[in-house]
Homo-oligomer: A and B are copies of this chain.
Amino acid sequence: MRERKVYLKLTPIEEALAKILAFPSPLTAESVPLVEAHGRVLAEAAVAELSSPAFAGAAMDGAAVKAESTYGASTARPKTLKVGSEAFWVNTGEAIPEGTDAVVMVENLQVGPETVTIEEAVFPWRNVRKIGEDLVATEVVLPRGTTIGPYEIGALAAAGVLRPKVFRAPKVVFLPTGSEMAHLGSIAPSDLKAGRKLPEFNSLIVKSLVERLGGHLTVWPIVPDDREKLAQALTAAVEGPFDLAIVCAGSSAGGRDYTAETLERLGELLVHGIKAMPGKPTTLGRVGGKPVLGLPGYPVSATVAFELLGQPLLRHWQGQSQPQRPKAEARLFQDLPSRPGLEEFVRVKLGRVGENLVAVPLPRGAGTVSSLARADGLIRIPASVEGLSAERPVQVELIRALEDVEGSVMAIGSHDNALAIIDGLLREKDPRLSLTSAHVGSLGGLLALAKGAAHLAGCHLLGSGGVYNQEAILKYLPNVPVRAVRLVEREQGLMVQKGNPLGIESLADLTKPGTTMVNRQRGSGTRALLDFELDRLGLDPSDLRGYQDEECTHLNVAAAVAGGRADVGLGVLAAARALGLDFIPIGWEDYDLVVLARFMEDQRIKALLETIRGPRFKERALALGGYGVSRAGEVVFSVG
C-alpha cells in the first residue's frame, strides 16, 4: 500500500511569514574592522567617533591668513603679508595654522619672494572647512539595519568608526534530501540522461541568495529518503551552530513527504503547505527552538519559497524591512489564467512597444529554471481571482530596471534559431539592445501585431498560391501598415534519429505502422506546411500516430526525436544538426519578420535591420546550416 500525505490546510503566505518572523533573532552584535565590513549590517546606529573634518582645513589652495589682517584691502590699497608669520601656504584639505581663520585663494594673490599681496578683504572662515561640517562627533552617522556598501564605508571612515558594530552573520544549514539526488558535477552524463541520478543544485541557488543577505550557508551531504536518516540529520543540524535549517525536497504531497512528518515528530509543524504557486509544498517547523524551513524540490518552487520566507527572516533578524521591488503597469497580450485559492507568481519578459509596456509570460512550470534568469518582471495573481485579463493593465514587479528593458525589440511569433543570433549581435553592438522573443507560432505573431503587442513577428505561412506570408498578412492584419522583411529562407525536412533506423524517406512514410511522429502546434508555419503537404499528398492526419503530440519550437521537436519519444518530426536543418539528428529535406520556405510600419524608424528596429543586413549575421546563420541569407533584411512585401 502506497502512503500518501495531503495538505490538511494550506497557510496563506502572510500568515506563514508572520509565523517565521516570530522566531526571535539569535544574532548578537560584533565589532569588525571597517575593511572587512563590506556587506555586513549595522547592529546599532553608528555614532561618529570623530568630527569630519576633525580640524579646520583649507577648502582651497592658497594662503591661510587671519581675516582681520585683510580688512580694508582693495585694488587701490592692497595689503602685503609676510609668508611664514602673517600668511601660510596651504593646500586643499590641509589644516590651517593656529591663529589663522581664512584662506585667500591662490588665484587672488600676487606672490612675491617672501610675501603675498591681497587686493580684497576676506571674511573669517572664508574657504575654510569648519570642524564638523560633515559630521559632528557623537552624531548618528547611519541607522541600525544599514547594509555596509561603498558609500557607507566612506561615511564610517570619515566618522572615525573603524570597527563598526554589526550583526553576527546568520548561519544557515542546507540539507538536500532524495535518494536519487547527487551533487552537481558528480554525475556521469549517461546517468543524468537516463534520469538515474538527479543533480542537486538548489543548494547553490540558496547559497548565493543567503550570501547576498550577508549570511553563510553550509551544505550537508544528501540525505536519502529514509525517515530515520532525515530525523538524525535534522537533529544534528539544529544542534549545530546554525540559526536556520533548510530541508530541501521531500516535501511534495507524494510518498516521500518526510519533512512534515519529521518536524511533527522532532518538534512542531507550523506550516504544511502555503497558498503559493509555485512554492505550495513548503513546510515550516520548530525543532530545538530553531526554525526549520522545508523547501520544495523543484528549483523555481524552492527559490520562490526561500524568497517568501527565508529571505525575510534573515533580513528581519538584521533589523531590515523586506525590499520592495519597483512596480510598473504593463499590458498582457493574452489572458493569463491562474488557480483560484493560490497566489500565483508569473515571471515575464518586458518590452516597450509604442506607448505600452508589454509583458510576455515565461513558462510557469516549477522546473523551468531558465525562467528565473530570463525574467524582467514578476506578476502576482492574487489567490482571490481566477486569472488576469488582457483587457486591463497589470502591475508588474520589476526584476530588471525599466530603463534596462527599454532597449528590447519585442518579437512575438514563429520560432527560429536565427533569432538568438540577432539577440547576441544586438547585445554586442550595444549592450542596451536586445531581442525578446515569445514563441507562439506564425499566426499568433500576426494576431499579436494586430493588438500592438509586439514590434515584429517571425512568420512563415504558406499561402494558397504558394507564396509565403502575403495572404496571411492581408487576412489577419487588414488595414495595418506593415513591412515584411526577409530574414532567411529555411530548409524544412524530417528529423529522424541518427542512422534513420526506420528508413523514413518522405512524408508518406509517416503513416508507416510503428512510426510515431511529433507535431508542431496549430498556428505555426511548420504545422501549416505539414498540413498543406499532407493535403497535397492525400494523406489523412488521423492515420499519423503522434499527430496530436505538439511542441512549440523546432528544438523541442528535435528533442522529442532525440529522446526517443517520437521517431520523426518536421523542422529545420539547424535544429536537427543541433541535436545530432538525421535530416530528410522536404523543401525551402520563406521566413520573414513582419514589422509594424510605424516602428520602421524606431532606433531599435533600425539597429536590428542593420544587424541582419550585415555580414556577421549572415555568417552565423549559414554556419547553422539549412539557411539562405541572400535577401536578409530586404523588404519583400509592404502594406500601407
Q: Which of A136, A320, A427: most chain B CB closer than 10 A?
A: A136
Determine the main DSSP class of A at the interface with B. loop
* Contacts of A163-200 to chain B: CB distance below 8 A: 178, 180, 184-185, 189, 192-196, 198-199
Question: Do A255 and B61 form a contact, CB below 8 Å, given A95-B195, A137-B579?
Answer: yes
Task: State in angstroms the CA–CA spacing of A54 and B152 once bound together.
Answer: 46
Q: Is A256 an interface residue (CB 8 A)?
A: yes
Q: Is A559 an interface residue (CB 8 A)?
A: yes
* Contacts of A78-92 to chain B: CB distance below 8 A: 89, 91-92
Chain-B contact segment, one of A139-147, A467-475, A502-510: A139-147
Contact B204 A101 (CB under 8 A): no
In the bound complex, residues from chain B placing their C-beta under 8 Å from that of A195 are 53-57, 94-95
Q: Which residue of B lies closest to A149 (CB)?
A: B208
Which of these, B101, B130, B559, contacts A132 with CB under 8 Å?
B559
In the bound complex, residues from chain B placing their C-beta under 8 Å from that of A553 are 136
Contact B56 A563 (CB under 8 A): yes
In the bound complex, residues from chain B placing their C-beta under 8 Å from that of A297 are 92-93
Contact B151 A50 (CB under 8 A): no
In the bound complex, residues from chain B placing their C-beta under 8 Å from that of A619 are none
* Contacts of A197-226 to chain B: CB distance below 8 A: 198-199, 201-202, 204-206, 208-209, 211-212
Interface CB pairs A-B, < 8 A, 30: A4-B61, A34-B185, A51-B563, A52-B370, A55-B192, A57-B195, A92-B252, A93-B178, A93-B180, A93-B297, A130-B551, A131-B559, A136-B555, A136-B578, A136-B579, A137-B559, A142-B374, A143-B423, A144-B424, A144-B427, A150-B205, A151-B303, A151-B372, A153-B201, A155-B374, A157-B205, A158-B201, A320-B431, A323-B401, A326-B402
Q: Told that A34-B185, A136-B556, A324-B401 touch, could you supply 5 new A-B pairs with CB distance under 8 A?
A: A38-B211, A55-B563, A91-B252, A140-B423, A144-B428
- Which residue numbers of A lie inside 8 Å of B, CB to CB? 1-2, 4, 33-35, 38, 45, 50-57, 60-61, 89, 91-95, 101, 106-107, 109, 111, 113, 123-125, 129-146, 149-155, 157-160, 162, 178, 180, 184-185, 189, 192-196, 198-199, 201-202, 204-206, 208-209, 211-212, 252-256, 297-299, 303, 315-316, 319-321, 323-327, 363, 365, 367-375, 398, 401-404, 407, 420, 423-424, 427-428, 430-432, 434, 546, 548-549, 551, 553, 555-556, 558-560, 562-563, 565, 578-579
